[in-house]
Structure 1
Amino acid sequence: MKYETVKSFILFVLVGISFLLSFILWSYQPNYDSFSDTSYVNEVDIGGAEKTKNELVEPIEIIFRNDEKIASFIDPIERQSFYKDLASWVLYDYQINDAKGRPKSDEYVEIIFPSAIPADLVTNLFTFNDHLVPPEWSFERVFITFNDKSQTLKLCILSVDGRKQITATIEKSDTYHLLLSFMKENNHLLHEYMAFGSQKEPVYLPKEKVQLPRKTLVASSIEPDLFINALFSNPSYVTPNIREAYFTDGQRGMRIVQDGRLLEFINPLQATVKRLDPIELLDKSINNINEHKGWTNNFLFENIDSSLNNVKYRLYYDGYPVFDRLNLTVIEQEWREQELYKYTRPLIRIGNLLNSTEEEIPSGEEVIHSLENDKNINVENIKDIQVGYSLSYLDDAHSLTLEPSWYILYQGEWLKFDIADYEKDLQAKGGD
């Protein structure tokens, strides 16, 4: 075979291979579906727990009112134990009917939840003898009144607007006498409280000074890398920017801020806000966090904002809410188009107790007096007042403190209210 013929043959083969490769390249269509799959939460264990709705949703206050006398549990652990028993009492003969506000009674128990919650939850929170088809409205307060003639109790779940209610009967006489003993006797578990604000939705505070320990505890971190598998459908696509503590798969992003203590996740593809039913929203949020066992320490439900498809859960310690100005004590989710749009959460874990020192914070009377005389505060905008813990990190970053303080829910935001600071400002202005 001639040399020129061999060269022509080789050239022909190379041209053929080139055409074949070009065809493969142009005709190849990558499977972007798996990359953009929005059902992206894989089953991952970040070291927390799974929880149910009835474990996450519980009252922030249980009030016993007898004429002008108001009392409640000063120890929130005792309140939680009482509510657990109450939730197991069987309810009979339920009815859904019209209402005219709060019960017209001088003697009742008032159960207050942290914010309006859908009536669909009543079957998770209370025990009904018959199947209940819940109405579509929401509630925040539940009342128990006494029928002295039949020695039974009537439970009333009141809608937020006060126009609708679910009523049912508790028929056990021993339960009737148990509650009556709380109302009539000087029960050592209860302390005197006082009411503040409107008659429709009063806020209750302990009347006397509160003794509560300041605690120092071990603090550890949750590894951010664990959330790559939890929040991205294809972790192999995720590229880190170590310098900025930012992770992305080209669509979704996860940022680690506040010295590695706070995670912020966003899925910007889900841009349309279609309002979800509140119970559906709560279910989706709880299931999502359960899938990566994300309930580290004790978080409880705080609020649903259906207009934004937003759900919040707050950290609690020894039954008290924990607050922090950097948002390190709140798990918050926002959903769009049935998918997780935003997710912020702390990456801290509270460990063993290192030190505890008893402290005394001002009484409810002092707090109310200060609020009513503070010209910068419109008391009508105060939704709630709570004793809680203020979280702060120590310099070594491996321990933190929980310091007792008063907090007010003012115009939708929790603010620390320090009476000492208020009095200093008052003296500087020459006030009384």
Structure 2
Amino acid sequence: MKYIEPVKSVVLFLLVMLSVVLTFLIWTYTPDYKYIEKTTGEEILIKPQKDMEDIIRPYKAIFRSDEEFTGTVSNAAMKDMMKTFKGWNILDLVPVNNNLSPNYVNQIISADNRMTIFFTGEIPFSAFNTIFQFTDKELPETTFNRMIIDWSNYNSKDLMLYYISSNNQSLFRSHVSVPNVNQFIKEVIEPAKKYEAFKEVEREGQTSLYVASNKMESVKFTYYIEEITPELFKNVLFPEPNIVQRNVESASSEKYTDGMSLMTLDTNLKSLNYVYPAAESSIRIEPSKLLKDSFEFINEHGGFTADFRYASTSINKNQMDYQLYLQGLPVYSNHVITRMTTIWGDSRIFHYKRPYFSLDMDIEAEKEIKELPSGTEIAERLKNANNIALSDIEELVLGYYLTQNQELNIFTFEPCWFVIRNGTWIKLTPEVLGGVKNGLE
């Protein structure tokens, strides 16, 4: 019994020391962490990405020399012009007039030794940053849809540029330092002498129209099409594709949703319609940022699946539209969708509508050369048309009307004349010119 107390003391001492040692080990313990590499989601590209200058391209150029007009809508010519402009130094950019009259615009364009480049939509100056070198660090938050180049003083290596906005009725001007002005004359001005003769169609109190004077030949194309699997768009547009539910509503309608956003397919129109309601916003976005955000959103997933070009902006809706082109001509249809639309919301996309097909290859045996009336002849017939007044239209253009054969999965592109009126494209058929109404978006 006399040893019990000493034994208890020893055991208690050992327990206390063990507790101290264990506490020390816990405090000083450093786990052997293994390095975990950061993983990122696999990038999805539906088609190759493009540059801004691929999307912003003119549809027509006219040249005034020796009091005569020539012009072209050639896709190759437009590409070459834009390449020639690349690297030009814009020495200044100053406002000249913010209340342009139609007659003043006509006078500027009709002056000798000037070329005018026509764009479908109003373009922010910042969109030309990849083409021109602006000396001004802060560009004005305004737009233009016609660019006029005056080469009267090219011997002094001095060109003058004018920028006209039809929407804002504004005019800007800048001096240009061209690295090689002789190259500009050789590659842009000299070839213009061999272009088609164009005529100014004057309209009282309106800006003039500029159309080809001679009959035109264009090619009718037939293409096999490739449907882009909706799963690709599902993986791009939804943050967690694995939880997305697919519902077949009917033979021509499918819906995909994750509870927050909705993607709808119309298999007849070959269209995809995506909406994220939580992003809806009424805050107006400046044109330069709107174009940048819209372009980057589509380009990040390779969404420019064909020759889509910037077509128009609706600032009040934060909306940007891109039109399908073929061989440099716009494509319109009642049967399939040929335009991409984005509506920007609160820091992200709110609404995205687009076709989900791409052109595979043209059927060589189906090509057919079509002869079309001259632009001047169409303008004359419009003067006598019952449904369309020449004074009401914004532009007269050559384009393609698209029809489809669903059974063979082929598209036919028929060349024809269109007018633009209030943002709506109207196919000019004999019935339209003769008084029967027939319009299309």
Distance 1:200 1:119 in 2: 26
Supply the AA of the counterpart residue of 1:168. H
When residues 169 and 377 of structure 1 are mapped into structure 2, their CA distance, relative to the original with a 3 A threshold, is same
Supply the AA of the counterpart residue of 2:123. I
What's the C-alpha RMSD, in Å, of the aligned pairs? 2.5
Distance 1:75 1:353 in 2: 19
Aligned match of 1:70: 69
Distance 2:394 2:162 in 1: 22
Aligned match of 1:396: 407
When residues 63 and 127 of structure 1 are mapped into structure 2, their CA distance, relative to the original with a 3 A threshold, is farther
Supply the AA of the counterpart residue of 1:396. E
| Displacement of 1:192 | 0.8
| Displacement of 1:158 | 3.4
Alpha-carbon displacement from aligned partner over 1:224-263 (angstroms, at most 9, x marks no partner): 1111111111212211112441111112111110437111
1:159-178 matched pairs, under 5 angstroms = 159-160=165-166, 161-171=168-178, 172-175=180-183, 177-178=185-186
Aligned match of 2:397: 386
Q: Are 2:221 and 1:223 equivalent residues in the alignment? A: no
When residues 228 and 94 of structure 1 are mapped into structure 2, their CA distance, relative to the original with a 3 A threshold, is same
Aligned match of 1:12: none
Out of 238, 243, 256, the position equivalent to 2:244 is 238
| Displacement of 1:393 | 0.8
The structure having more radius of gyration, on CA atoms, is 2
Out of 331, 356, 371, the position equivalent to 2:367 is 356
Q: Secondary structure at the match of 1:255?
A: strand
When residues 326 and 283 of structure 1 are mapped into structure 2, their CA distance, relative to the original with a 3 A threshold, is farther
Aligned match of 1:282: 291
Q: Are 2:50 and 1:51 equivalent residues in the alignment? A: yes
Aligned match of 1:88: 86
| Displacement of 1:424 | 5.5
Distance 2:86 2:53 in 1: 12
Distance 1:347 1:335 in 2: 20
| Displacement of 1:399 | 1.2
Distance 1:336 1:367 in 2: 42
Supply the AA of the counterpart residue of 1:192. A
Counting aligned pairs with the same residue, the percent is 23
Would you say the 8 A contact 1:260–1:347 is kept in 2?
Answer: no
Aligned match of 2:324: 315
Q: Are 2:198 and 1:193 equivalent residues in the alignment? A: yes
Would you say the 8 A contact 2:420–2:426 is kept in 1?
Answer: yes
Distance 2:219 2:48 in 1: 27
Aligned match of 2:306: 297
Would you say the 8 A contact 1:52–1:286 is kept in 2?
Answer: no
Would you say the 8 A contact 1:153–1:176 is kept in 2?
Answer: no
Distance 2:392 2:433 in 1: 21
Aligned match of 1:145: 150
Distance 1:204 1:110 in 2: 10
Supply the AA of the counterpart residue of 2:225. A
Out of 336, 344, 347, the position equivalent to 2:356 is 347
Supply the AA of the counterpart residue of 2:174. T
Out of 263, 273, 285, the position equivalent to 2:272 is 263
Q: Secondary structure at the match of 1:307?
A: helix
Supply the AA of the counterpart residue of 1:57. I
Q: Secondary structure at the match of 1:125?
A: coil
Q: Are 2:218 and 1:212 equivalent residues in the alignment? A: yes
Distance 1:173 1:47 in 2: 40
Distance 2:280 2:160 in 1: 46
Would you say the 8 A contact 2:160–2:173 is kept in 1?
Answer: no
Aligned match of 2:21: none
Q: Secondary structure at the match of 1:48?
A: coil
| Displacement of 1:383 | 1.2
Out of 188, 200, 208, the position equivalent to 1:202 is 208
Alpha-carbon displacement from aligned partner over 1:24-62 (angstroms, at most 9, x marks no partner): xxxxxxxxxxxxxxxxxx865353121222221011111
Q: TM-score, normalised by structure 1?
A: 0.80
When residues 147 and 222 of structure 1 are mapped into structure 2, their CA distance, relative to the original with a 3 A threshold, is same
Out of 94, 108, 130, the position equivalent to 1:124 is 130
Alpha-carbon displacement from aligned partner over 1:369-403 (angstroms, at most 9, x marks no partner): 12111121233331112111111112424211111
| Displacement of 1:111 | 1.2
Out of 397, 421, 428, the position equivalent to 2:431 is 421
| Displacement of 1:326 | 4.2
| Displacement of 1:208 | 1.2
Of residues 174-183 and 262-271 in structure 1, the stretch that sits farther from structure 2 once superposed is 174-183
Q: Secondary structure at the match of 1:225?
A: helix
When residues 92 and 321 of structure 1 are mapped into structure 2, their CA distance, relative to the original with a 3 A threshold, is closer
Would you say the 8 A contact 1:304–1:312 is kept in 2?
Answer: yes
Q: TM-score, normalised by structure 2?
A: 0.79
Would you say the 8 A contact 1:151–1:176 is kept in 2?
Answer: no
Supply the AA of the counterpart residue of 1:60. Y
Supply the AA of the counterpart residue of 2:81. F
Distance 1:277 1:228 in 2: 29
Q: Secondary structure at the match of 1:242?
A: strand
Q: Secondary structure at the match of 2:311?
A: strand
Aligned match of 1:325: 334
Q: Secondary structure at the match of 2:272?
A: strand
Alpha-carbon displacement from aligned partner over 1:174-202 (angstroms, at most 9, x marks no partner): 1464355356xxx33x0011223558643
Supply the AA of the counterpart residue of 1:360. E
Supply the AA of the counterpart residue of 1:239. Q
Supply the AA of the counterpart residue of 1:156. Y
When residues 346 and 82 of structure 1 are mapped into structure 2, their CA distance, relative to the original with a 3 A threshold, is same
When residues 382 and 364 of structure 1 are mapped into structure 2, their CA distance, relative to the original with a 3 A threshold, is same
When residues 295 and 43 of structure 1 are mapped into structure 2, their CA distance, relative to the original with a 3 A threshold, is farther
